[in-house]
Structure 1
Amino acid sequence: MSGRLLRLVCTAAVAAGTVLAPLPAAAVPEPEPRERSVAELLTDLQGLYRQAEEATEAYNATEEKLKEKRAEVNRLDAALSEVRLSLHDSRGAAGRLARQQYQSSTDISPYVRLLLARDPQHALEQGHVIGQLARDRAKTMGRLTGTEHRADGLARKARKALDDQLTLAARQKKDRDAVRARLAGVEELLASLTAEQLARLAEFEEEGVEKAQRELTTSGALGEDARKPSKEGGKALRYARRQVGKPYEWGAEGPRTYDCSGLTSKAWAYAGTPIPRTSQEQWARLPRVPLKELRPGDLVIYFPKATHVAIYLGRGRVIEAPRTGEKIKVSPIAAHPLLGAVRPDGGDQAPATEATNAPAFSGS
């Protein structure tokens, strides 16, 4: 190739490169954020509700421990005041005896005093009195020493109980803040939804509960519904019925508002059978019964961590204090994932295994 042709090719190539060089890339618009499905929204919302309920149960448990610790502090303070009063009296008695001994002290031995006495019989009686006073003094000093030790012990226990109370009070505040944070998350999510989304959400949740209820009842897991409540169970159930329509409030035990375990614990206390305050303690400490043996008045426990509880009404229904923003109502037993059931007045019942085969709606 001649030099001139080579220069023309190079010039053309440069020109072509100049013309055909790619233009700067234009900014690509980011895709619109995908609208979450109703199922995803429901999962998020129910997760927040569950976290709020877990935090509520933690708060309730701390509150119960704090009540017990306050009672212990008051009891120890009263006992310490009584012991200090007794200690004051014992010290006064010891002082009087010491003065009496000092006033009657002498260097003459009792034997010589008896020989020199004008009335030996009187001297003997006086010696007996002095001996009795000495024995009384020994007893008084013994009581004084024992009371001092007891006062010291009670003072140490009272200080520790007070320290424990302060620790629990700090934990209670932390638990309360956790509940409020979870509920703020619920409110934030609900506020971000349109009226149409909220309506679809409620409809989707209801459909899920109905499906779970059908699966549970057709599976035969509940058994025949012919059992009658016990006398105590009937009273607890009547109490719960009267609360229907009252608002849910976390940490509340009535009489105007309740949370889930506040309702069940008050219902059974009304029946004369006190039970633990929290759903977790109710599940841990009360006799368990299989779902097939459920009778009205029994307690139905929900979620793997036993953070929700309702009272069985019969015919596959329960009375529950559901969650913040709702009221106490009658619900299908499968409204939440079932864990099992307990019977507060069923001490003769053997513990049952967890309701692992009982189908339940896994959302709420």
Structure 2
Amino acid sequence: MSANSIGRAVCAAAAVAGLVTGLLTGPQAAAAPGPEEGTVAGLLADLQELYRKTEQATETYNATAEKLKKQRTQAKKLTRDLKKARTALHDSRAAAGRLARQQYQGDSELSPYLKLLLARDPRRALDQGHVVRRMAAERVETVGRLVDREKRTAALAARARKALDAQLALAERQKGQRDEVQERLRDVESMLAELTADELDALRRLEADSTADAQRDLLDSGALGGPPGKPAATRAPSKAGAEALRYAVKQIGKPYVWGAEGPKSFDCSGLTSRAWERAGREIPRTSQEQWAQLRRVPLDRLRPGDLVVYFPDATHVAIYLGGGKVVQAPRPGARVKVSPIAANPLLGAVRPDPGSRPDPSYRPPKLPAGAEEGADTGWGSESAPGDA
């Protein structure tokens, strides 16, 4: 199955969430075209669950990819250290070899005390004895270095083997997770093949209606700190937050590709982690780790650059633009765009730089034409040529 068909499959599955809700509980259920509602609802419920599992598998894949990157770095460092240790060990063995030859060539059966008694000049013999003792100490030190370096080299070799084994295990795990994502996407495509054109049109309408309703409910609740129906006035972000947001805005229009972190394509957490990296702050790679490790911030205290996290298991993330909107890489098949903050079920928000001060000189970035066009789940949009 091509990458484009995978993207279209996941896009349709993403829109399933809104349609399932509409068919099962919403007043629009009676107006939805298609065959018997129970049959469609059951199929769409299965697709929704399958999509959620696919999203979870994607984040797991991203987490393993990050661990593998760190493991490779560690393995390379250990390999370099081992090479240096082996060079030092070779030098110590050469020194020990010279010591052995000198000792063999200068060997005598006479003890140092007997040599002193037989010496014509005892004082000179004592002076020579001092030199001999110093040479003996150097020999002991040479042997000690050899032993220490042999131990260090053996320990480094064991650590390097262990690091390589861990790297191979992570690579194999990542391959299995990649296969799991692709298998779930094939299942999505197979199930979507049973939907009619009318049912697919219904997905588009219901997804748009669902997003609009969720955004209206959120604003009416006052959760964003403003009066009913409006978000709070946009606060000034920190300089780093403004820089992260500017980077994200510049990526608008680039395709979503699962597992991608730029520069030509992104997944959701790939976009947010890369944006903050460009702002000079390293944050976790995955949405789940961003939610777990970064400082939580109430929705009514949001400022541009903060990260908005979605779904109970924190499997999606976007960057706050201000005015109740976010910049996000929605789903495979979609492109980076501006969306209502309630385009997905909200979990909460985090701030990568909680101790930083607002920048009073902040000016919102200029959005490109069409920044808000396209469905927020990627439904109905086209993948870019060469998406993978």
User: Do the structures match in fold with TM over 0.5?
Assistant: yes
Which of residues 231, 234, 242 in structure 2 aligns to 1:234? 242
Q: Which has the higher contact order (CA 8 A, sep 6+)?
A: 2
Residue 221 in structure 1 maps to residue 217 in structure 2: no
The match for 2:138 is 136
Residue 281 in structure 1 maps to residue 289 in structure 2: yes
The match for 2:103 is 101
User: 1:262-281 alignment to 2 at 5 Å?
Assistant: 262-281=270-289
User: 1:137-286 alignment to 2 at 5 Å?
Assistant: 137-223=139-225, 224-286=232-294
For residues 242 and 201 of structure 1, the distance between their equivalents in structure 2, rounded to whole angstroms, comes to 30
For 1:178, the aligned partner's letter is E
1:189 to partner: Cα distance: 3.0
CA RMSD of aligned residues (A): 2.1
User: 1:342-361 alignment to 2 at 5 Å?
Assistant: 342-347=350-355
% of aligned pairs identical?
Answer: 61
Which of residues 324, 331, 345 in structure 2 aligns to 1:316? 324
The match for 2:77 is 75
For 2:346, the aligned partner's letter is L
SS across alignment from 1:342: strand
For 1:309, the aligned partner's letter is V
CA shift digits 1:288-309 (9 cap, x unpaired): 1011111111000011111000
For residues 315 and 45 of structure 1, the distance between their equivalents in structure 2, rounded to whole angstroms, comes to 33
8 Å CA contact 1:247, 1:328 repeated in 2: yes
The match for 1:27 is none
1:123 to partner: Cα distance: 2.6
Task: Provide the aligned length of Structure 1 versus Structure 2.
Answer: 319
1:46 to partner: Cα distance: 3.6
8 Å CA contact 2:234, 2:304 repeated in 1: no
1:240 to partner: Cα distance: 0.4
Q: Given the two structures, how large is their TM-score scaled by the length of structure 1?
A: 0.83
For residues 44 and 348 of structure 1, the distance between their equivalents in structure 2, rounded to whole angstroms, comes to 45
Gaps of 5+ in 1: 1-32, 350-360
Whichever of the two has the greater Rg, that structure is 1
For residues 147 and 355 of structure 2, the distance between their equivalents in structure 1, rounded to whole angstroms, comes to 47
CA shift digits 1:103-127 (9 cap, x unpaired): 2221222233233334444433322
For 1:303, the aligned partner's letter is F
| Residues 334 and 43 (structure 1), Cα distance of their counterparts in 2 relative to 1, 3 Å cut | farther
The match for 1:86 is 88
| Residues 205 and 39 (structure 1), Cα distance of their counterparts in 2 relative to 1, 3 Å cut | farther
1:339 to partner: Cα distance: 0.7
1:269 to partner: Cα distance: 0.3
| Residues 44 and 229 (structure 1), Cα distance of their counterparts in 2 relative to 1, 3 Å cut | farther
SS across alignment from 2:265: coil
For residues 292 and 154 of structure 1, the distance between their equivalents in structure 2, rounded to whole angstroms, comes to 52
8 Å CA contact 1:287, 1:347 repeated in 2: no
1:185 to partner: Cα distance: 2.3
8 Å CA contact 2:238, 2:356 repeated in 1: no
8 Å CA contact 1:42, 1:201 repeated in 2: no
Which of residues 50, 59, 63 in structure 2 aligns to 1:48? 50
| Residues 59 and 281 (structure 1), Cα distance of their counterparts in 2 relative to 1, 3 Å cut | same
For residues 186 and 171 of structure 2, the distance between their equivalents in structure 1, rounded to whole angstroms, comes to 23
1:137 to partner: Cα distance: 0.8
1:347 to partner: Cα distance: 4.6
